[in-house]
Structure 1
Amino acid sequence: MARLSQLVPSSGHEPPILVDDPFSEAVLSSPFEFQHALREAGPVVYLSSHNVYAMGRFEEVRAALVNWQGFESGNGVGLFNPRHETPYRRPPSAILELDPPIHDAPRHALEQALGPRMLTGFRDGWARTAEIMVEELLNREVIDAVADLAEAFPLKVFPEAMGIPEEGRENLLLYSDHNFNSFGPNNALVENGRAAFTKLVGWMGQQGSRESLRPDGLGARIWAKTDEGDLTAAQAAGVIRSLLIAGLDTTVHALGAIIDAFLSAPRQWELLRAEPTRARVAFDEAVRWASPVQTFFRTATRDIGVAGTKIPEGEKILMFLGAANRDPRRWDNPDQFDLNRDPSGHVGFGMGIHRCVGQHVARLEAEVVLHELARRVARIEPSGEPKPHLNNTLRGWKTLPVRLIPA
């Protein structure tokens, strides 16, 4: 269990200082004590382990996320600051690390491709896939809810919808995982994944090429924007790579979070079975409760005052989405997974113009999977010790052994 963070009192308008490392293995494995200390220390805290400012309370985190003019993404959403440091990660992403106006065209293309109306056409096919998968899983005594469900379902349906070749799709998870790891410090997690990631860069580039995509997939629709003059070829390829990341990682970790949430609160599973229409509430409550995306960095574009603390221009600030989503100032009994709660407004997928566009994919996939599980499964029971998946940005499970008890 992670120890409580040490707190150095502040003087005047200087923020309090926390000395624990939020990217240590202990905190990444179980972040809740650290997050509690962060929130209680104050609205803005200085993390001496990485020389950055940090926010963990809901009000300040949400306000900073929507204020892209004051807290930019274009200087990177990771710890690395290209203004002062030699790069240890790849250049900024095609959308996530851009600000208006160059952010607008690729973001619009993404929203059109992954909007709820466009995704509706996939519902029936994805529901049928969920039916077949759950039927097969019910024939096993024990399953790994991560590998057998949370990873298997998105890897089956979303790359197919994008129109990318079936061979090598498992590489998408490895590529995306390292991408999110690199937002943190250049620690052992980053070093351990660098060699495999480097080998996949060329392969990943091919997945975004026009020639490799089926003409009836979402990827081809993105490329059609170049014919209309809405995107350049480089933007189209970058958007497709971003789509593959946004449409997989958020979904994989959200599905894992949902299963974990129901393990923690079996009576909530009974409630979902009785009222399957609560599937969307269950999705958002699980994302609030678990926050698969734990953190993102921004950079102050000018000297900005937050709750009496001045954040100097050019300084990085680390926003703890997971801490904000369990802030008792915003949520009653925040550590409880509760389907009677209204979880809307959580910051689990960010907020404002950089809010995760892949959330619509995750929400639809989770909905069809939950409907099928609720129809066929009476209980979900633990069946072994789960193992956390360590990542500098994401929080999830490496393994989550469970039993599905048929209805």
Structure 2
Amino acid sequence: MTLALTSMDADPFGPEILEDPLPFQAALRDAGPVVHLSTYDVYGLGRYAEVHAALTDWQNFQSAAGVGLSNFRVEKPWRPPSLLLEADPPHHDAPRHVLEPILTPRALRALRPRWLASAEQLVDEVLGAGDIDLVTAVAQAFPLRVFPDAVGLPDAGRENLLPYGDHAFNAFGPSNELVAKGLPRIGELSAWVNAQCAREVLAPDGFGAQIWAAADRGDITPEQAPLIVRSLLTAGVDTTVHGLGAALYAFATHPDQWDRFRAAPTLARVAFDEAVRLESPVQTFFRTATRDMRIGDTVVPEGHKILMFLGAANRDPRRWADPDRFDLGRDPSAHVGFGMGIHQCVGQHVARLEAEAVLTALAARVSRIELTGPPVRHHNNTLRAFAALPARLITG
């Protein structure tokens, strides 16, 4: 029995809400701890407390039935499910345990000098280019330089990573026009990504080779190894690109915080996490109730999907003071932009290191980030992103 349940008929994947989700998210939070979204017959959570609780309760809100709208209990996924995102213990344990030590801050320390030098080189290039698009020239350019190298990919074909990831994240939503636009190329892109996950393709000193070494030790099976590499390639580029875009936009629109950061560049990771909180590059994820679950006065029936609005939770005034402000004096560490619990993003430290390298290199040379035109949003069923950020980098 469902009690006191508010229903909303808005489409959270419609173009108007994807362009500006904030009014919808505020209405969702105000409507209650859980709201029935009638367009898709799912239960929406927009408040921080309920989103956090659902993210950490993998026993009652499973990922194995898919973290998108599609229910793997009754529908066949378009690709083999992710061993990280779309699995629960015990099947989730071994892949996660293999990746965690590879991607810890301590393990990544060896990459830091190389990535800082690469970021400085990129800043040299963009400073000589005049007016630029911060998305293509910085937010996309840097991750596509350093992350594929870290995984061990060859140079050819790296331009496939962004459109593949874009489709993968679109596919977590409904089969709308955003999914349709990616269908003509997805076979070709999937074949390329799958080919990069083979042991013989990967460089011997990258993340991919370390995953295959875990298979040799018996920590995972040889069949699991390429799927784990694929998970890195699916989720490791777009999310970082959009997180960097969020940070650059936040600094461009909050010049006082850029001054504050330039005076204390050790705040790079705080700045990145605050930008992720504010913009939430990953806006939504689904879970499936494993039994009848009460949220507030509402019972979510077993087998039904809940839709967690991470972006709404990250701006919930019940949790955050002045939530719409980008503030380096805030401790953003509790944000849910990387998820929470056992499925929390395993690559978040990689993203933070990439952001630290870029932001630190910019702070050393750039006194102001000035937008020269209106930002253009890129629509995706799951991701909040910019298609373009026309800007000028002011030195001196």
Please give the range of the TM-score, normalised by the shorter of the 2 chains.
over 0.9
Q: Which amino acid is 2:64 matched to? A: G
Q: Which amino acid is 1:250 matched to? A: T
Q: Under a length normalisation based on structure 2, what TM-score does the superposition of the two structures give?
A: 0.98
Q: Does the aligned pair in 1 maintain the 2:2–2:297 contact within 8 Å? A: no
Distance 1:116 1:360 in 2: 6
* Pairing 1:89–2:82 present: no
Q: SS where residue 146 of structure 1 aligns? A: helix
2:109 aligns with 120
* Pairing 1:326–2:335 present: no
Distance 2:172 2:195 in 1: 24
2:27 aligns with 37
Moved more, 13-22 or 310-319: 13-22
Q: Which amino acid is 2:45 matched to? A: M
* Pairing 1:231–2:220 present: yes
Alignment of 1:20-169 (within 5 A): 20-85=10-75, 87=76, 89-169=78-158
Q: Does the aligned pair in 2 maintain the 1:88–1:186 contact within 8 Å? A: no
* Pairing 1:403–2:392 present: yes
Distance 1:12 1:169 in 2: 49
Q: Which amino acid is 1:35 matched to? A: Q
Distance 2:236 2:13 in 1: 25
Q: Under a length normalisation based on structure 1, what TM-score does the superposition of the two structures give?
A: 0.95
* Pairing 1:170–2:159 present: yes
Q: SS where residue 170 of structure 1 aligns? A: helix
* Pairing 1:283–2:259 present: no
* Pairing 1:273–2:241 present: no
Match of 1:383 among 364, 372, 392: 372
Q: CA deviation at 1:12?
A: 7.2
| Alignment: residue pair count | 396
Moved more, 157-166 or 245-254: 245-254
Q: CA deviation at 1:90?
A: 2.3
Q: Does the aligned pair in 2 maintain the 1:246–1:357 contact within 8 Å? A: no
Q: Which amino acid is 2:56 matched to? A: V
Q: CA deviation at 1:88?
A: 6.3
Q: Which amino acid is 1:100 matched to? A: P
Distance 2:347 2:77 in 1: 26
Q: Which amino acid is 2:286 matched to? A: F
Q: CA RMSD in A?
A: 1.2
1:208 aligns with 197
Q: Which amino acid is 1:47 matched to? A: L
Q: Does the aligned pair in 2 maintain the 1:116–1:360 contact within 8 Å? A: yes
The runs of at least 4 consecutive aligned structure 1 residues that moved more than 6 Å come to none
Q: Does the aligned pair in 2 maintain the 1:250–1:358 contact within 8 Å? A: no
Distance 1:39 1:185 in 2: 22
- How far does the alpha carbon of each residue in 1:196-242 deviate from its partner, in whole angstroms, 9 at most, with x for none? 11211111111100010111212111100111011111211011111
Q: Which amino acid is 1:137 matched to? A: V
Structure 1: runs of 5+ lacking an equivalent: 1-10
